[in-house]
Amino acid sequence: MIAQQIKKYLLTIIFSLVSILMFSNVEVDKNPAQHEGHNGHQDQTSHGGEINTKEGINAYIRHHLADSHDFTLYSYTNDIGERKHVGFSLPVIVWTSKGLRVFMSSEFHHNDDGTHVVDANGVKLAQLHGKIYELNVGESDVVLDKDHHAINAHKVFDLSITKSVFGILLTGLLMVLAFAGLAKGYKKGAIPTGFGRVLEPLVIYVRDEIARPNIGEKKYAKFMPYLLTVFFFIWILNLLGLTPLGFNVTGNIAVTVCLALFTMITYMFSGSKDFWKHTLWMPGVPVILKPVLAVIELVGFVLIKPFSLLVRLFANITAGHFVVMSLIALMITLKAQFGAVGSTGISLLLTLFISVIEILVAFLQAFIFTMLSALFIGMAVEEHDHH
């Protein structure tokens, strides 16, 4: 029985990964202030020049919180003044006017201001603000307007393996391997062995502290695969975001929107007759108020509840990363007041303190998202007593 549930859970993981990957490359266009940050500090964020001003630090943080087509661990300037970047590139997969083009992101030479153009089998491509543009026919360089928008190029359909996509795939692989091992362990006996002993208490915690109390004893098992997927998916991604690799997947609004939509679709399509009766034609109230209450209830379930899920996760994770990077930057901004040693010491102590809190927040946000999802599902599947 447990092995069958874990198989359903693995199928849920695969389905969820495919769906999220479809949205993960989507990113809200940056506002004018952010464009100015790119324009005014492009030598710092794109080429890695010295950053020692408040504006430069803010632009640098925004740059590294955004998704990108490569991983950069650190940068340095060699003896002849060339800027070198240490990291690894990722596959760029784009659909252009001349069909599919695939190459490695290293072809852009870590350039993100559109000045380096890649010739991909007759198609000229450039990277600007994290997006890949195809130059119009006959153009050789990207021309920008006063707001730093390309006027002689257009965006391509981007299917690239970006940092966020790589993080999603890595998390999915870890979850499949871990829970496939747990299922295999249950086939050998009632008590799992190895890493399964670590996973089993967490699975039981989600079942007994989240699913059962909010959904009910009779119906919780049906939704366990989804709740386990959401919990471990968010938790692992949050933990990966604390590593030097710079993941910010759950700080990507497209990913949190997708997760919230999953929850909404789950409880909307699982709603009982009583749920729809109380939502669309609430009993016990004057007839004249029933249409008004129906609109309010539908707005709550379709918009407000998913919005609260996606914004809470997105805002908390993004804010946490921003705070950590801002504290690291104190070694630069406080250097004049406390000296190099003093500012570095203050920065390290505060960053270490906040990083420990972020480990707790990583679990807490996964718990809250899963708890609220279970609560909303429980509200939809609840059977009301009729007197």
Residue 271's closest CA among 385, 379, 386, 384? 379
Residues 336-348 have a mean pLDDT of 85
1 pLDDT higher than 60:
no
372-387 pLDDT per residue, tens: 999 999 999 887 665 4
192 pLDDT higher than 70:
yes
39 pLDDT higher than 50:
no
How far apart, in Å, do the first and last CA atoms of the chain sit? 37
**Cα–Cα dist 230/262, whole Å:** 9
Q: What is the pLDDT of residue 27?
A: 43
The CA distances from residue 94 to 83, 97, 100, 117, 348, in Å, are 28, 10, 6, 15, 41
Give the full edge-to-edge strand order of the sheet including 91-96.
99-104, 91-96, 157-158
Residues 256-277 have a mean pLDDT of 91
Q: Which pair of tokens denotes residue 274?
A: 């009583």
Residues 190-215 have a mean pLDDT of 87
Task: Note every long-range contact of 354-359, with CB atoms under 8 Å and residues 24 or more positions apart, other chains counting.
Answer: 354/320, 354/323, 354/324, 354/327, 355/242, 355/324, 358/242, 358/320, 358/324, 359/239, 359/242
- Higher pLDDT pick, 110 / 161: 161
Cβ neighbors of 249 (< 8 A, separation 6 or more) are 24, 163, 164, 167, 168, 171, 237, 240, 241, 255
Q: What is the pLDDT of residue 52?
A: 67
Please, what's the b/e burial string for 8-34 (b: 16 or more CB within 10 A of its CB; e: otherwise)? ebbebbeebbeebbebbbebeebeeeb
User: pTM of whole model > 0.85?
Assistant: no
* Strand, coil or helix: 386: coil
Q: What is the pLDDT of residue 282?
A: 82
- Helices 32-40 and 54-65, interaxial angle, to 10°? 110
- Report residue 339's pLDDT band, with 50, 70 and 90 as the boundaries: confident
- Report residue 325's pLDDT band, with 50, 70 and 90 as the boundaries: confident
Q: How far is CA 122 from the centre of its chain?
A: 34
66 pLDDT higher than 60:
yes
Cβ proximity of 105 and 93 under 8 Å: no
47 pLDDT higher than 70:
no
Residue owning tokens 């759950």:
250
Identity of the amino acid at 258: C
87 pLDDT higher than 60:
yes
Q: What is the pLDDT of residue 197?
A: 81
124-134 pLDDT per residue, tens: 999 988 889 99
**Cα–Cα dist 97/95, whole Å:** 7
Q: What is the pLDDT of residue 15?
A: 56
Q: Which pair of tokens denotes residue 236?
A: 């692992």
Residues 39-66 have a mean pLDDT of 64
